[in-house]
Amino acid sequence: MGRYTTGSSRQTRVSAVVIALSLSIFAAGCKKKVAVARTPAPPPPVVQPAKPAEKPRISQFEAEPGTIEKGQAATLRWAVVGETTSITISPGIGNVAATGNRQVFPSSSSTYTLTATGPGGTDTATANVTINAAPAPPPVADRTPAKSLSELLASTVTDVYFDYDKYDIREDARGILARDADSLKAIFAKFPNASIVIEGHADERGSAEYNLGLSDRRATATRDFLVQLGVPGDRLKPVSFGKERPQCTDSNETCWQSNRRAHFAAGQ
């Protein structure tokens, strides 16, 4: 230790301060022995293995409901985390965003496969939609094929869209709702006990809390408009989803517009 040598070679001239300083540094080196005697030395540091590139992980992939009657819809929901280069759902859907949902109308029991591929690897998950055995055919009746409530809604009642932060019925929605009113009346004639949910949705930009109030207005404004056209209001149930159930999760106007909507679904 150089400092120690220097200190002893200049015994006469060295100041107390320098001694104190050099001793303190030296003492720091030798005190360790005592500490070790009192408590055991800490174990050698653990070397962490290098972390491999993380592969994408499918945190959710499910069909809801998992069992349907033929002709009914099931909703696939998925969420993928991690870095991905492609996310596909087969059969029949193709490339999708990292999170989302899609209605499917399988004609027979089907297994959907979600494949997420990224630089770190591939993850796959499956979701089953089981079709219940067809119920007994209706006893004779007219020749038109029987359609389920969901099927009728999907094929004859059209969603309407709204402007940003607005809930008034747009000009282009009036004609649509007039046709929807006729379709709904026909549906209620066919399904006297049915109730229809009017889902209000918002795009991702406002706060989730305010969007609840906003999409509630969209759903109730849609209901009120239909009631004016003679649809029974007690059979229409507005439900505000805000931005909780977007049908598109990209950040562009096309996607935002598709989320600012009122959508019709079969109630329980």
What does the binding site for another protein look like in residue numbers (CB under 8 A)?
A: 15-17, 19-20, 23-24, 26-35, 38-40, 42-43, 59-60, 62, 77, 79, 81, 98-99, 164-165, 197, 204-210, 212-214, 216-217, 219-220, 237-240, 244, 251, 267-268
Contact 219, 259 (CB under 8 A): no
Say which residue the tokens 């562009």 belong to: 252
Sequence-separated contacts (24+) of 167-171 with Cβ below 8 Å: 167/214, 167/217, 167/218, 167/221, 168/221, 169/221, 169/222, 169/225
Query: Based on CB atoms, which residue is closest to another protein, 60 or 257?
Result: 60
Q: Minimal distance in Å, beta carbon 161 to another protein?
A: 18
Q: Minimal distance in Å, beta carbon 12 to another protein?
A: 11
Query: Based on CB atoms, which residue is closest to another protein, 11 or 144?
Result: 11
Question: Greatest CA span in the chain, whole angstroms?
Answer: 123
Q: Minimal distance in Å, beta carbon 121 to another protein?
A: 18
C-alpha dist (Å) from residue 94 to 91, 136, 162: 7, 35, 28
Query: Based on CB atoms, which residue is closest to another protein, 75 or 156?
Result: 75
Distance from C-alpha of 246 to C-alpha of 188, rounded to nearest angstrom: 28
Query: Based on CB atoms, which residue is closest to another protein, 71 or 201?
Result: 201
Contact 147, 138 (CB under 8 A): no
- Please name the residues in contact with 5: beta carbons below 8 A apart, sequence gap of 6 or more: none
Q: Minimal distance in Å, beta carbon 27 to another protein?
A: 4
Query: Based on CB atoms, which residue is closest to another protein, 103 or 155?
Result: 103
Q: Minimal distance in Å, beta carbon 137 to another protein?
A: 32
